[in-house]
């Protein structure tokens, strides 16, 4: 029965966009990070990302896997190019905590990734944008 299905709630796990200096290319790049602010590690982590524009254009779909993300830590996921900021960017996160499977979809609405939206991030000591 549907009423018997328990869907676990994702807490203290975030995806964030951080602007950082890339010394190899002498440029500032926007990077997506996964932040684990829990007291337990995340295991068998998978992240799928894609973008959709209102005119029908789509980005490539990327998939990333991480065996373990330790408690109170963060990990670099991918570079996000400024030319996809007008797109609705979607990140689907799936992971295990113990034997329970969790999943959550994070979104970056069009034109929300910009320096004026930078704020404090949990665990990381740099400014960034938390995705919803």
Residue 6 banded pLDDT, cuts 50, 70, 90? confident
Q: Nearest CA to 119 among 18, 10, 15? A: 18
Domain edges within the chain = 2-130
The first and second tokens of residue 102, run together, are 């969790």
101 CB-near residues (< 8 Å, 6+ apart) = 8, 94, 95
Which of residues 5 and 117 earns the better pLDDT score?
A: 117
Distance between CA atoms of 132 and 125, rounded to whole angstroms?
A: 20
The model's pLDDT over 38-89, given as tens digits with 9 standing for 90+, comes to 999 999 999 999 999 999 999 999 999 999 999 999 999 999 999 999 999 9
- What per-residue confidence (pLDDT) applies to 127? 97
CATH 3.20.20.70 correct for 2-130 = no
- β-pair partners for 76: 33
């Amino acid at each position: 029965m549907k009423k018997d299905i328990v869907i676990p709630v994702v807490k203290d796990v975030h995806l964030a966009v951080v602007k950082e200096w890339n010394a190899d290319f002498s440029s500032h790049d926007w990077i997506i990070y996964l932040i684990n602010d829990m007291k337990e590690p995340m295991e068998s982590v998978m992240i799928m990302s894609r973008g959709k524009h209102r005119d029908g254009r789509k980005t490539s779909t990327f998939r990333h896997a991480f065996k373990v993300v330790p408690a109170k830590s963060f990990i670099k996921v991918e570079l996000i190019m400024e030319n996809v900021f007008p797109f609705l960017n979607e990140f689907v996160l799936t992971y295990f905590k113990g034997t329970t499977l969790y999943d959550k979809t994070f979104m970056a609405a069009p034109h929300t990734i910009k320096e004026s939206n930078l704020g404090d991030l949990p665990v990381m000591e740099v400014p960034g944008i938390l995705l919803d």
